Amino acid sequence: MGRLNTVPQRTARLVLVTPDGAVVGSLPPFPVDVPWWQEVESVVRAAREQHRVDVTILRLLEATRDQGPGGEVTYLAEVAKPVPAQVWTGKTEAHPLRQAYAKPGGPAADLAWAQRVLAGHGLAPTARPVQIRSWNLSSVWRIPIGRHSAWLKVVPPFLAHEAAIITALAGRHVPTLLGHDEGGRALLAEIPGEDMYEATLPQLLAMVTLLVDIQASWIGRVEELRAMRLPDWRGPSLSGAIADVVRRTGRELSADEQASLLGFVDGLAARFAELEACGLPDTLVHGDCHPGNFRGTGQEFTLLDWGDSGIGHPLLDQSAFLEVVPPQQAKTVRDHWNGEWLARVPGCDPTRAAALLAPIATARRAVIYQMFLDNIEPSERIYHRGDPADWLRQTAALVKNRAN
């Protein structure tokens, strides 16, 4: 709760369209009690309470701030039929990178698909579906089924391998799929418990063990992962992608940062060779492994959000996890992580591997965010616009610190 008090309040302005795309007009701005732009449940609720209008949020049109959260945000929203509204003179032009769920009629089609999947399981919604999130990386709905819920998640093509890897991991502390299709739709069973942002030390250690267990089970199975179209973050592929994002982002960095990064890029082949000598083979990488992506209670967890998964060194997952671990617990977690891998790959050197990987891991995040920017329409790039440069600055700092 404390974090919410440190950011400006969000004010939502809605431009309304009907299912055929005809512009109705706009609603006057209204306050929303959750500041994060992609979280739209509170926007839908506030529109109903303050304007007596039921809406479906389609996409972000513009924002007054350079980045979220908070401030005034304008969304395109769908209504079933015209309602009283102010005149709006803007344009809603088509764009080739727009996702289907960001177009009029798209969410209704997704919900109809989900209802068919539920019917195949002998189930049906018992209340109106609740829109939870809508942005360039996902559309998420909660569908009530009696005292439980199913969760509809729709993702862009560059994250659509998520359903395939969850299917392949069935039975290993991952979400249960009720159904999925090739278009990025997935319907997931409800996961009891809570998101583990405030995990205790014993829970953090259990999370590490769970992840390492999964990763160890995929050693020697890289071709299976490739067949599921997971991104390739092994040496040659990731080195090329890092060099590309450094080249494209150079003008946003200082001369010193650029010099450090160019030296880092030149040395990537040698660094990956040293990394290979540490003895930990490439395998499945979750890609966004932090305590908040675990859900459960006690020591029983489910690891969520596999859309960022890929193929690479297993310790690529370590830095994001340790970033949010309390500083006084980080060494214990790191030591446990090392012990888990030493038990599975005797003679490996996870400590040396983690040191070599540190700048590679931050540079990989720059690569990921650049990929997002390259595959989303201009109005929604604001979510990630500064991220490649920010992660490259962190990479440059790590390289410089190591040199000193």
What is the helix (H) or strand (E) element at residue 390, kind and residue range? helix 387-403
**Which residue pairs from 266-272 have beta carbons closer than 8 angstroms and sit at least 24 positions apart in sequence?**
268/235, 268/239, 268/242, 268/243, 268/360, 269/235, 269/239, 271/356, 271/360, 272/235, 272/239
DSSP H helical ranges for 218-349: 222-227, 235-249, 255-266, 268-277, 318-323, 327-344
Cβ atoms of 239 and 265 within 8 Å: the answer is yes
Question: In terms of C-beta density within 10 A (0-12 exposed, 13-18 middle, 19 or more buried), how is residue 283 classed?
Answer: buried
Q: Which tokens is 166 given?
A: 């969850």
Strand pairing class (138-145; 148-154):
antiparallel
* 294/94 Cα distance (integer angstroms): 37
* 111/116 Cα distance (integer angstroms): 9
Strand pairing class (23-26; 294-297):
unpaired
- Name the strands in the sheet holding 294-297, side by side, starting at the edge strand that comes first in the sequence: 194-195, 294-297, 300-303
- Whether the link from the prior residue into 314 is cis, omega within 30° of 0, is no
CATH of domain 195-403: 3.90.1200.10
Question: In terms of C-beta density within 10 A (0-12 exposed, 13-18 middle, 19 or more buried), how is residue 401 classed?
Answer: exposed
- Look at residue 61 and give its three-state secondary structure: strand
| DSSP for residue 37 | T
pLDDT, one tens digit per residue, over 233-286 is 999 999 999 999 999 998 999 999 999 999 999 999 999 999 999 999 999 999
- Name the strands in the sheet holding 177-180, side by side, starting at the edge strand that comes first in the sequence: 130-135, 138-145, 148-154, 185-189, 177-180
Cβ partners under 8 Å of residue 272, min gap 6: 235, 239
Q: Which tokens is 207 given?
A: 């999370």
For residue 79, the one-letter residue type is V
DSSP, residue by residue, 146-196: TTEEEEEEE--GGGTTHHHHHHHTTTSSSPPEEEE-TTSEEEEE---SEE-
- CATH entry, 102-189, from 3.30.470.10, 3.30.200.20, 3.30.310.50, 3.30.450.40: 3.30.200.20
245-256 per-residue burial string, b: 16 or more CB within 10 A, e: under 16: bbeebeeebeee
Q: What is the pLDDT of residue 212?
A: 98
- Going from the C-alpha of 162 to that of each of 38, 157, 282, 321, the distances in angstroms are 20, 10, 19, 20
Q: What is the pLDDT of residue 6?
A: 75
**Is 195-403 the same fold as 4-83?**
no
- The model carries a pTM of 0.93
Q: What would be the CATH architecture of the domain defined by 4-83?
A: Alpha-Beta Complex (3.90)
Give the residue from 211, 190, 207 showing the smallest Cα distance to 198: 207
What are the residue boundaries of the structural domains of the chain, listed by start?
4-83, 102-189, 195-403
Give the residue from 360, 357, 315 showing the smallest Cα distance to 337: 315
Per-residue pLDDT of the chain (404 residues; tens, 9 = 90+): 334 457 899 999 999 999 999 999 999 999 999 999 999 999 999 999 999 999 999 999 999 999 999 999 999 999 999 999 999 999 899 999 999 999 999 999 999 999 999 999 999 999 999 999 999 999 999 999 999 999 999 999 999 999 999 999 999 999 999 999 998 999 999 999 999 999 999 999 999 999 999 999 999 999 999 999 999 999 999 999 999 999 999 899 999 999 999 999 999 999 999 999 999 999 999 999 999 999 999 889 999 999 999 999 999 999 999 999 999 999 999 999 999 999 999 999 999 999 999 999 999 999 999 999 999 999 999 999 999 999 999 999 999 887 65
Q: What is the pLDDT of residue 38?
A: 97
Question: In terms of C-beta density within 10 A (0-12 exposed, 13-18 middle, 19 or more buried), how is residue 227 classed?
Answer: exposed
